[in-house]
Structure 1
Amino acid sequence: MAYPRWRHMLIESQRHALKAMDEWNCSGGNFSDFLTHMHKAWLYLLHAEFHMAGTDYHYETETGESRMIDGESKAWELRQCLKERFDESDNPVRLNVELFVALRNKVEHRYEHSLKVVTGGKCQALVINYEQELVAHFGMSHSLADQLRFPITLQSLTAEGQAQQQAAAAKLPKSTRDLVAKFEADIDPAVLDHPKYDYRVRLMPIVGKKTDADLAINFVNLDELTEDERTVMTEARRTGAVISKFKYRDVVDKGKMLPKQVACEVEAQVPFEFHVQPEHTEMWRRLGVRPATKAANPYDTVDKYCVYSEVFSTYVYTDAWVAKIIREIGTVEKYRAFFGKEPRRKKLSALKQQVVAPEPMPQDQDVMGKIA
Structure 2
Amino acid sequence: MAYARWRHILMESQRHALKAVDEWNCSTGNYSDFLTHMHKAWHYLLHAEFHKAKIDYHYSDPKTGQQQLIDGEPKAWDLDRCLKERFPDNRDAVRLNGELFVALRNKVEHRYEHNLKIATGGRAQALVLNYEQEMVAHFGTEFSLADQLRFPISLQALTAEGREQLQAAAKKLPKHTRDLVAKFEAAIDPAVREDLRYDYRVRLVPIIGSKTDADLAINFVKLDELNEEERKIMVEAGRLGTVIEKTKHVEVADKDKLLPGRVASLVEEQLIFEFSVQNEHAKMWRRLGVRPVSGAADPYATNAKYCVYSEAFGAYVYTPDWVKKIVREIGTIEKYRAFFGREPRMKKVTPFPKQAGVPELGIAQQRSKSA
Amino acid at match of 2:50: F
RMSD over aligned CA atoms reads 1.4
Amino acid at match of 2:182: A
* CA deviation vs aligned residue, 1:235-272 (integer Å, no higher than 9, x gap): 2245489xxxxxxxxxxxxxxxxxxxxxxxxxxxxxxx
Partner of 1:177: 178
Partner of 1:137: 138
Determine the C-alpha separation between the residues in 2 that align with 1:56 and 1:169.
42
Determine the C-alpha separation between the residues in 1 that align with 2:216 and 2:69.
53
Partner of 1:152: 153
Amino acid at match of 1:203: L
Amino acid at match of 1:208: G
Amino acid at match of 1:149: R
Partner of 1:217: 218
Amino acid at match of 1:34: F
Amino acid at match of 1:124: Q
CA pair 133-240 structure 1, distance change in 2 beyond 3 A = farther
Shift in Å at residue 170 of structure 1?
Answer: 1.0
Partner of 1:105: 106
Structure possessing the higher radius of gyration over alpha carbons: 2
* CA deviation vs aligned residue, 1:35-84 (integer Å, no higher than 9, x gap): 00000000000000000000000001121101011111100000000111
Partner of 1:207: 208
Please say if 1:45 is aligned against 2:45: yes
CA pair 149-23 structure 1, distance change in 2 beyond 3 A = same
Amino acid at match of 2:12: E
* CA deviation vs aligned residue, 1:271-306 (integer Å, no higher than 9, x gap): xxxxxxxxxxxxxxxxxxxxxxxxxxxxxxxxxxxx
Partner of 1:55: 55
Partner of 1:8: 8
Partner of 2:268: none
- TM-score, structure 1 as length reference: 0.64
CA pair 240-80 structure 1, distance change in 2 beyond 3 A = farther
The alignment partner of 1:137 has SS state of: helix
Determine the C-alpha separation between the residues in 2 that align with 1:186 and 1:232.
31
Amino acid at match of 2:14: Q
CA pair 3-238 structure 1, distance change in 2 beyond 3 A = farther
CA pair 67-126 structure 1, distance change in 2 beyond 3 A = same
The alignment partner of 1:94 has SS state of: helix
Contact 1:20 1:37 in 2 (8 A): yes
Unaligned segments of structure 2, at least 5 residues: 244-337, 339-371
Amino acid at match of 1:54: K
Amino acid at match of 2:43: L
Contact 1:31 1:112 in 2 (8 A): yes
Determine the C-alpha separation between the residues in 2 that align with 1:155 and 1:189.
29
Determine the C-alpha separation between the residues in 1 that align with 2:49 and 2:216.
34
CA pair 238-108 structure 1, distance change in 2 beyond 3 A = farther
CA pair 35-238 structure 1, distance change in 2 beyond 3 A = farther
Amino acid at match of 2:16: H
Contact 1:93 1:197 in 2 (8 A): yes
Partner of 1:364: none
Contact 1:124 1:198 in 2 (8 A): yes
- TM-score, structure 2 as length reference: 0.64
Deviates most, 45-54 or 159-168: 159-168
Determine the C-alpha separation between the residues in 1 that align with 2:153 and 2:176.
33
Determine the C-alpha separation between the residues in 2 that align with 1:24 and 1:186.
28
Unaligned segments of structure 1, at least 5 residues: 242-371
Contact 1:96 1:197 in 2 (8 A): yes
Shift in Å at residue 149 of structure 1?
Answer: 1.0
Partner of 2:276: none
Amino acid at match of 1:122: R
The alignment partner of 1:12 has SS state of: helix
Determine the C-alpha separation between the residues in 1 that align with 2:58 and 2:193.
32
Determine the C-alpha separation between the residues in 1 that align with 2:92 and 2:220.
25
The alignment partner of 2:24 has SS state of: helix
Determine the C-alpha separation between the residues in 2 that align with 1:71 and 1:198.
40
CA pair 183-145 structure 1, distance change in 2 beyond 3 A = same
Determine the C-alpha separation between the residues in 2 that align with 1:155 and 1:3.
45
Partner of 2:286: none
Contact 1:184 1:192 in 2 (8 A): yes
The alignment partner of 2:152 has SS state of: coil
Amino acid at match of 1:57: Y
Please say if 1:36 is aligned against 2:36: yes
Partner of 1:191: 192
CA pair 88-238 structure 1, distance change in 2 beyond 3 A = farther
The alignment partner of 1:99 has SS state of: helix
Contact 1:201 1:240 in 2 (8 A): no
